Amino acid sequence: MNYPKHVAIIPDGNRTWATENGFIKMAGHLEWFKRMIEIAEHVFTKTSIDVLTVWWLSTENLKNRKQDELEYLFDIYMKIPDQLEKTLKENNVKFRVAGNIWQLPQRLQDYFAKKTEETKDFPWEKTFVLAVNYGGQDEIVRGVNKMINDKLEMINSSDFSWFTPEDLTEYLDFGDLPNVNLVIRTKWDMAKRLSGFLLWWIGYAQLWFTAKKAPELTVEEFTKALDWYDGIIQYQNMGK
C-alpha cells in the first residue's frame, strides 16, 4: 500500500448535512467532530501516514460566521486534543495549530499553546495539524512579513538574489512538514474547489472529491481515498 506522507482534509457540508437531516446547524459540526476523531485515530494507529491536517475554520469563516456559531466551534476545538490525547501520546504524534491564532479568543490561544507544549518533545515524524483561522493567502502574507522583519538588512541592500522559495518556506506554517500528497474535499457536487487551502503546499498533490458531506466522511469513505491514491501511485510507477 502506497500511503501519502501528508493528507489534508477540507470538510465541507456540516451545516448542509444538518439542515437536510432536520437538525440545527450546530449538530453538523458536532457530527463531523466525531468522524474526524475516528479518522485521526485510524490514521495514526492503522496507516503509515505521517501528517494529517484538518481545516476547521477559514479566515473568511472567522469574519462571516455568527458569534454563537463561532463560540460553539471554539468549544469543539478545545475538545479535539483531549479526545485524541491517548492516540497522540501512545503513537508519538505532535499536536500543532496552523493559522492566524492571534485573532482567536485568548482562552483558545492559551489552550492551543498548552496542548502544543505537551507533545513538543515527540519526534516530527508524526503530526496532527488543526488549521484554525487559516487561509492559504494569509499564510503566505504572514510568512513574507516575518521574513521581511527577520531579513531587513538584506532586503535594504536591494540584492534579492538570496530570495528563493526555500527562504520563504521556513517562515510559513507548514515549512517544517512534508508537502501535501493528498487533499480530500467533501460535498464536491456543490464545492469542487480548494477554496485557497494550503496554496503553497498542494501544487503536486492528488485531489480527491467525494459527494459525501463532512459528517458522512467515515473511516470507510476515507479509506476509499487512500485506495484511490494507491492506484494513482502504482500507475505512475508502472511508467518508470
83-136 pLDDT, tens digit per residue, is: 999 999 999 999 999 999 999 999 999 999 999 999 988 876 899 999 999 999
The answer to whether the beta carbons of residues 177 and 51 sit under 8 Å apart is yes
C-alpha neighbours within 13 Å on the C-beta side of residue 205: 27
User: Catalytic residue among 12, 50, 138, 173, which?
Assistant: 12
Task: List, in order, residues 6 or more apart from 59 with CB less than 8 Å away.
Answer: 99, 100, 133, 134, 135, 138
pLDDT level of residue 238 (50, 70, 90 thresholds): confident
- Distances in Å between the Cα of 145 and the Cα atoms of 148, 151, 152, 177, 179 are 5, 10, 10, 20, 22
Predicted model pTM: 0.93
User: Catalytic residue among 61, 91, 92, 179, which?
Assistant: 61
179-235 pLDDT, tens digit per residue, is: 999 999 998 877 778 888 999 999 899 999 999 999 999 999 999 999 999 998 887
Stretch among 51-60, 144-153, 226-235 having the lowest mean pLDDT? 144-153
Task: Determine the pLDDT at residue 156.
Answer: 60
Residue 227 annotated as catalytic = no
Task: Determine the pLDDT at residue 160.
Answer: 60
Residue 173 annotated as catalytic = no
Query: What's domain 6-238's superfamily in CATH?
Result: Decaprenyl diphosphate synthase-like (3.40.1180.10)
Task: Determine the pLDDT at residue 166.
Answer: 86
Whether the per-residue pLDDT at 162 is higher than 80: the answer is no
Sequence spans of domains, the chain: 6-238
